[in-house]
Amino acid sequence: MEPSDQEERSVAEDFRRQLQERLPTGPADRSKEDALRRIDKSVDLLTEINTVSWGRESSNPSMVEQLRKELESIPLMSPRDEPFTHAIMKTLCENVESACRTLGIPLRSGVAYGSSPTLAVDAAHYRVHFTDASVITLSAGFISFCSHISKMFSLSLEHEQHEKTFSVCFKPNRVFAKIGSDPALKYYWTEIIGAYAFGSGPLIVKQRLVPSPASITRVQLLQGMELFSVAHEYAHHIGSHGDGVATAEDSNAKREEYEADSLALTLSRYIGANEQPQNLYAMSGASAVLLLKCHECVRRARQILRTGSETIQSSRTHPNSSDRIAAFDAFDEHLPKSEREMFKQTREDFEDIIDAVWAKLRPWYVEMHNHGLRPAEDSSVDSWLPT
């Protein structure tokens, strides 16, 4: 008798638990009790975040209470599931699966999803052999990276508050000028890219609050990046692709990456268009550009710390990020002209901003290398690109 989808998913869930158990325990591990204790201890900080980001009354405890209730009720499938990151994965995966169902995209036997308790920046899809199910994970380090990058970038854009709405400017020369004129912002970029290059990003980057209305952009950028990454891994599952291990023939593996990006953008676009307000960063692929480019900065900075030079070796299985971003143009062909042009312009602006900032950051890491700073070798920043 053929196993049911339910049975195959429970095999996948078992495999996911085994994958987690292979990781050494560390600072990314946290039980539900610890998570709740952490909320209780941080009521003042959480309330302050709420006030600064959303301009709400500082005495309003309901947000903290709601967060506590949500965490309390979240079902954790494995002892190594960390509640905060698992809750994020659950929401993202449910959104992607619901979009697939509406769009008539079959999910085969389904997916066991979750977060992996490691500080490495890692997104992965694993085939579960002899089944039509997969395991999909984002690491705690990956979720933290998206959070930091979205703060850094939203703080860099110019926001103008109107009576009830606000406008955002991402013209590269203006954004570049804004970053250049703000020492704290320059430091923030150097700190984030440097900390993740060194290998301890999630632990050492200091807490920074994003005021309204940049906080709205920040959430949209963050959701756009996370959504694209999860949808990319689902696309590997949907397409029955290999699991990113370098055994597949190289050209085949690269073709699968482009296919996964294409479906990830379709799903991000669909979900972003149905949000209120619409998430233009998810719809245009600009969030994905932000993620790919910033991760490339991290890899280059890491290479500089290691060797003094930023030249990174091309991957055998993954196209480089500029080729992946260039391919986005082809995914837009069916769109109306005005939308197609606007999406392309937004992606190009994001790319230009990061290229311009990187040219200014690079000498700092060269100097750090010259002073003897080397990356922590236990981190596997290198291994990542959404696989």
Binding site for Zn ion (CB under 5 A): 257, 260, 386-387
Smallest distance, Å, CB 179 to Zn ion? 31
Helix (H, G, I), strand (E, B) or coil at 170: coil
Smallest distance, Å, CB 386 to Zn ion? 5
Helix (H, G, I), strand (E, B) or coil at 169: strand
Smallest distance, Å, CB 256 to Zn ion? 7
Q: Which is nearer to Zn ion, 30 or 254 (CB)?
A: 254
Residues whose CB is less than 8 angstroms from the CB of residue 327 and which lie 6 or more positions away in sequence, other chains included: 258, 261, 262, 319
Smallest distance, Å, CB 232 to Zn ion? 6
Q: Which is nearer to Zn ion, 53 or 134 (CB)?
A: 134
- The H or E element spanning position 319 is none
- The H or E element spanning position 325 is helix 321-331
DSSP string covering 31-97, please?
Answer: -HHHHHHHHHHTHHHHHHHHHHHH---TT--HHHHHHHHHHHHPPP-STT--HHHHHHHHHHHHHHH
Q: Which is nearer to Zn ion, 260 or 354 (CB)?
A: 260
Q: Which is nearer to Zn ion, 231 or 298 (CB)?
A: 231
Q: Which is nearer to Zn ion, 133 or 230 (CB)?
A: 230
* Selection from 87, 208, 88, 231 nearest residue 154 by Cα: 208
Cβ burial, residue 90 (10 Å; 0-12/13-18/19+) = middle
Cβ burial, residue 89 (10 Å; 0-12/13-18/19+) = buried
Smallest distance, Å, CB 236 to Zn ion? 6
Q: Which is nearer to Zn ion, 99 or 260 (CB)?
A: 260
Smallest distance, Å, CB 211 to Zn ion? 35
Crossing angle of helices 250-273 and 286-307, in 10° steps, is 130
Cα-based distances in Å from 85 to 30, 62, 75, 121, 330: 10, 21, 13, 13, 33
Smallest distance, Å, CB 107 to Zn ion? 17
Q: Which is nearer to Zn ion, 248 or 356 (CB)?
A: 248
